[in-house]
Structures are given as C-alpha cells and as structure tokens.
Structure 1
C-alpha cells in the first residue's frame, strides 16, 4: 500500500468508513452528470426561437447524446480498470464542462451536436451504470444493494430536479446562462472527485465496507482487459433469445422515459399553454418520486418474480401514456398530478428486476450483459428523442408520439412475459 496516499484518509477511519465518503462523492457526481444531460430538453423552445432550428434537429442532438451515453457504458468499467476511477470521472466532468460552455458560441446545428451531443454524451457515458457497479463492487459488501439503489436513483433524479432551475434561468436570462452554469457546476465537482475518490479500499489501508478479513473484495488487482471481455460477452449473449427479450424491453423503457418524457415533455406542455417552468417543475416531481419507486422496486425484486414485475411496470406505463394527451392544459389538474406521481414511481423501477434477470440468466457475465442491455435502453432513448421531434414538426403536436410509445410499452410487457422461468433458463439462455 502507498503510505502517502493513505495518510490523508487515516483520520477518517475514526468517523465514517471511507466507503461512505466515496459513495457520497459518487452520488454528487452522478446527480450532476444526469442533470447536465437533461438540459437540452428545457432549451428546445429557446433554441428553436433564436435559431429557427426544427424540433427534429434539436432532438437529433439529444439523440446523439443519449446514444453515446449508452454505447460507451459497457466500456466505462474497462476505462476505470485501466486508468482509475478518479481520472476517468474527472476527465468526464471536464468534457461535460467543455460541451456545455462551448454552446454559447454556436451558430450552426452541427455545433449543437458536437457540444451537447458528442462532448456531453461521452462525458456522462463515462459515469453511467458501470460507475455505480464499480463503486459498489469495490467498496461495499454489506448494504451493497442499498447503495446501488441510491446511486442509481441519483442518476435518474439528477436529470429531473435540475430542470426547474434551468427553465427559470433560461426564461429570465436566456438559454446561454444555464449553459454556463452547467459548465461551472461540472468543473466544481472535479476537486471533490480528485480529493475524496480512491480506486480501491486497499489504496487507503482499509477493507471494503462489511468485508471479512482476508477477503479479496476491494483489493487492487491488475487491470483485467475489460474492453475485450465486454466484446466477448456481447458475442456470446447476442445468440441467446433471452438477451433480445431483455434488450427489447429495456430499449422501450428508454424510449418511454428519457427519450420521450425527459426530452419532449416540457415542449409538449408548452404547446398546450403551460409555462415551461411549470412543466419543468412537474418533471422535478417525477425525479422526487422515482427515488421511492426504485427503492420499492428493489425490495419487491427480492420477493417477487422479476418477470411479472416488468410486465406490470410496462403495462401500467403504456396505459398512462395513452391518457397523457388529454391531460395537458395551461394549468395542472389533479389528473396530471396523478400521472406525474405514477410516472415518477415507475421511472426507473425497471432497473432492479432487469439487473436481477441478467444475473439469473447470464451468471458471472450478468453485469457485463446488463451493460449491453443498458446500451439498448439508450438506443431506444435516442430514437424516441429524434422521432418524437420529427412527429412534432410534421403534425404540429406530440399526440401520435404518446400513442406509439404506449403501444410499444405493451410490446415490452409481452417480451417480459416471454422471458423463461428458472427451469427453462438453461435451455433458452444457453447457460
């Protein structure tokens, strides 16, 4: 162990275990990164008004963002194995800051795609689900599930709770001000990452939280060449029907959350006379309730069949989307509040049962398999972000987009129902 690197943490052993400090800083980084990624959804109308860019064009930039977010995710853990958590996360935050800050100089659509799309997409993609898995896998043995749930909720909640602030800044000071705020906020988290995140508990002379003496958890090892393993696992799992059932359902999950609601809800509400700040506030409520929904879903996943949970989540989500077009109006009615609260509880409730099914059907390759399933989530998000914008441009409203998403959620429920039970898992998953 490097004594110099451990010394600053020595005093911390008398207080909270260093694992909680790492988790807390990870929570802040995830909360901010997700919030930064959600900003284009609020700025869609201001950008349309100033530059005349179509909703489809702006949606395309968002789709580049979410697509990169998903495609980089399976390799993020490999980057952290090779270069360390601190370096990867710090560099990711710098990319986010650069992408947000450079938008104030843009005059062409391709520049929007290069900044909010490419730079911010790569940045947040480097701090996605594998970041959560890396922290919890290295630093925790006890309460690993709880910490996973909280950090996962941070990733989804951050993109929603920032929206009211961004909308207010854009309304009062123009869209460039929130872009600068995002850039400065991303840079402000970098010192926290460099000071308080370490790669392994053994680097600071402690065991992982809850680990028994002699346990290998949290002990620094040689980098395992994770990028090659990610591709090897992908080659194996694409031959198995259960992967396509999980990936297909999760792609629809992404389309019906981040891609559609997260990107276009504010714009759609504004079409019906609702102030952008009010609509953004509703999405913030979604973010508040998704924490409770995720924790509850994790509790249910330990007790019920994960397949049936997914069937219920997708079915109820699809039905709610079919009703959404008639809920919009200049004011927020009780029916809209009901939709917002339900959608918040359901927003990322699909994650715990999906992770459990990947573990069940792919064994030790489960975490890597989930990385690729999560990539499908972001592909679905990207297609919805672009497609819904095109529908709005062509038809003048989002109504068709809500109906299509509702029908797709029904398909996701059918795919989930078709996932084999344990007794058939060996035959269909090829394990």
Structure 2
C-alpha cells in the first residue's frame, strides 16, 4: 500500500520546487512569531495521513473478519445455537453503525488521533477478553459491546473525516483506498485466523486479533494528525488554508443536530435506505454467514474462508476503482449499477454452493468482490454534495443504517438456518432487496456541488 501511494505521489501529487512567497501559508501560533511554511512538500503530508488511517482501518477490520470462522467452534464447544451466536454478531454490527456519527463528532472535538487510538485499545481489550468467557452473555459483552464500540469509532465516518480535512482533490480516490482498508483486514487475517482456529482453536485466534489491534496504536499516536493546519500545510488540492470553526456544542449534540437537519430531506432517507440494504447484503449476510453456508454443503472452513479472502483482494480493486469513477461520473448512477449487479449475483449463489471450489463459484467470488463495498465512495460523495460541512457526520448516520440492516440480516439469517436447515431463502431475499436499492439510488436528486474548500468536519 505504501508503494502504491508513493508511486502515485511521484506524479501529480508532488512538487520538488519551493513555492513562491505569495503561495506560502502563514501560520500563527499564540505566543510565537508568525512564520511562513511551504504549502506543499515533496510528498504531501496528506498521503502519509491516509496511509496511517489505512493501517488503523486494517487493524479494526482484523476482528471483524473473525465471526464467520468462529460460529461453528462456538456452536461445538458451548452448544450455543446459530441464532444465539448471530445475536452477538448483530449487536457488534449495530453498535459499529450507531457509534459512527458520535465518533465523527468526537473527532471534531478531541481530534482523530485520540479517538482512533482509544478505539484500537478497546478493540484489543474486547477481543482478548473473549478467551475467558463461559456464557453467551459474555460473548455479547466482549464481542458485541466492546468491539462494536471500538470498531464503530473507526468506521467509514473516519474515512469521510480524513478525506474532508486532508483532501480537496482526489477525494473519491482516497475514499476508495481507505474503504478498501476494511477489506484488507479481511484479506490479510481471515485465512490466517481460519488456519489458527482449525489447528489450535478459537482462543489463539482471538489473542492474535487483540495483538494486531494493539500494535497499531503507537503508529496512530506518532504519525496521525488532525488537520493540515496543525503542521503548517493546506489540504491536498486546496487553494488556501481552511477556515475551521471549533464546534460550539458537545459531540453528542452535534451528532443529533446533524441528524435532525438531514432527516428533513428525502435524500437522507434514500441514502439511509440504500445503505441499509448494502449492509444487509454484505456484512450481515455474506460476511457473517458465507463460511457456515459453504460448510453446510461440505466445503472445509479453511477453503470457504480463503474464498472470502479472495473477495477481499478484488474488493481492493473494485473500491479503489469506484473512488476513481466517483470523481468522474454521477454517483447516483454508479450506485444503481452496483446494487443491480450485486442483486443478480446473490440470487444465483444458492445454485453455486458445493463441497469444492468450481469455476462458476470463482466467477461469483471475483464478481461479488469487485462490488463488495464499491458503494461507499459514491455514498460519501452524495453526503458531501447534499449536506456540506456536516457531510461526515451525516454519513455516520447513513452508516448507522448500513449496520442496522446488517445486524437485522445477520440475526435473521441465523434464525433462517435454524428453522429451515439452509440459507437459501436469505440469499434470495437479499437479491430482491438489492434490486430495490438500485431503484432508490436513481430516485436521489442531484445536489449542488459544494465549494472547493475543505469542510470543518
């Protein structure tokens, strides 16, 4: 990832020439004399901030990759039903979404660095404590509450905050890269965790995730900065320094105020509805239940987990490409295409599940992987387009709907498996919901393009 960012930065992202005096930024610090600082170093600091954010998102995603490979071990060791285990997962997913808008507001008040470092520590604690549990309520507490709050504080609203503060140009591309960080966590850790669970049990896998999340904390503390102005720079692509006004209200009130204002518009409800279906058809269904569904057809857990890792590989490509497309095409049309294609793929999935990997299944994995979270960059763009400086916090609420949809389907699909003995009905319902989301995307009105200056959120 660092090599990719460096190669991109070597092109239009960098300049070796010092800027003339009239293109420099004057930084004034209370108690010190003003000083001129060049606006753009050789490699703009924004790209290094994006890299640190990417690593933090990977660390958070590491734990979110584990539920699908631990459902069967929990069921076998503790005798808990699929519905009981899915309930803990749904609490995690729900809190992941509901925490996001408040975390975005907390980042305004206390800074990204403090919030992200604390969130990683919370993820580490929640994952590590699961090794001591003996009752299902402890699974809900550790896996659901602690990790849900921690990962929610580093949710995709964090992506929106980084891109809004540090970038004016290339926002769509950077949104795609950072969103792909969540897939990279799955890509890097899911096959490893599946092997660890298969060979040594689920407890070493939980401790592995705990260590990875904790290891990312020093990197965040040392390298992440809240705003370009903190280091005497302007946002990448900006023509001048941002005018930041500190929020006059607390984080909670700021988040609620942004919601009540946005909720008066039909656009917000269309975005929230489509993103709820996005969560239902990705994290809630495939991310949680693909491995046990494939195992029901005789496929080894490690093989099924490997297929999800391949989804992560192609998600990197698809999400970054979606960010690039979002900078160039109508995001509403992109969303309609993404949801329609996803719906088709999910509808045919029950016909593809078997005890071994075959070419049609590989085609589904590649096709679905390209579309996994390709919806995020255009959804962030539409939030920015319609809600301006409050865009990151509004996106946090839209993400909350994403996780509510995911939580409901994660729980509902588990109950479906308990009642019918298979997941077939869940796949078909998800495909129909995606068709509905495609139509809703086309109903979103086109908003006014905001000014080029970066927002305060």
Residues 114, 383 of structure 1: CA spacing in aligned structure 2 closer, same or farther, 3 A cutoff? same
Task: Give per-residue Cα distances to partners, 1:76-106, cap 9 Å, x unaligned.
Answer: 1211122222221111111111100000000
Query: For 2:370, which of 321, 335, 345 is the aligned residue?
Result: 345
Calculate the aligned-residue CA RMSD, in Å.
Answer: 2.2
Q: Which moved more, 1:399-408 or 1:237-246?
A: 237-246
Instruction: Kindly indicate whether the alpha-carbon contact (under 8 Å) linking 1:287 and 1:344 is maintained by their aligned counterparts in 2.
Output: yes
Residues 269, 229 of structure 1: CA spacing in aligned structure 2 closer, same or farther, 3 A cutoff? same
Partner of residue 107, structure 1 = 134
The runs of at least 4 aligned residues of structure 1 exceeding 6 Å deviation read none
CA drift of 1:136 comes to: 2.4
CA drift of 1:74 comes to: 0.8
Matches within 5 A, 1:150-229: 150-212=177-239, 214-216=240-242, 222-225=246-249, 226-229=251-254
Instruction: Determine the C-alpha separation between the residues in 2 that align with 1:345 and 1:331.
Output: 22
- Higher share in helix: 1
TM-score w.r.t. length of structure 2:
0.85
Residues 197, 361 of structure 1: CA spacing in aligned structure 2 closer, same or farther, 3 A cutoff? closer
Partner of residue 7, structure 1 = none
CA drift of 1:305 comes to: 3.1
Query: For 1:282, which of 304, 307, 313 is the aligned residue?
Result: 307
Q: What SS class does the counterpart of residue 162 from structure 1 fall into?
A: helix
Instruction: Determine the C-alpha separation between the residues in 2 that align with 1:356 and 1:196.
Output: 27
Instruction: Kindly indicate whether the alpha-carbon contact (under 8 Å) linking 1:161 and 1:288 is maintained by their aligned counterparts in 2.
Output: no
Task: Give per-residue Cα distances to partners, 1:193-221, cap 9 Å, x unaligned.
Answer: 11112223333344434444x5126x7x5
Matches within 5 A, 1:376-395: 376-395=401-420
Partner of residue 426, structure 1 = none
Task: Give per-residue Cα distances to partners, 1:302-359, cap 9 Å, x unaligned.
Answer: 4433333222221221111111111111110100011000111111111222223333
Instruction: Determine the C-alpha separation between the residues in 1 that align with 2:170 and 2:216.
Output: 26
Residues 133, 40 of structure 1: CA spacing in aligned structure 2 closer, same or farther, 3 A cutoff? same
Instruction: Determine the C-alpha separation between the residues in 1 that align with 2:48 and 2:180.
Output: 18
CA drift of 1:174 comes to: 0.4
**Number of aligned positions between the proteins:** 412
Partner of residue 47, structure 1 = 74
Partner of residue 441, structure 2 = 416
Structure 2 gaps, min length 5: 1-27, 31-36, 449-457
Corresponding position: 1:319 with 2:347: no
CA drift of 1:155 comes to: 2.2
Residues 413, 15 of structure 1: CA spacing in aligned structure 2 closer, same or farther, 3 A cutoff? closer
TM-score w.r.t. length of structure 1:
0.90
Q: What SS class does the counterpart of residue 395 from structure 2 fall into?
A: helix
CA drift of 1:274 comes to: 0.6
Structure 1 gaps, min length 5: 4-9, 424-431
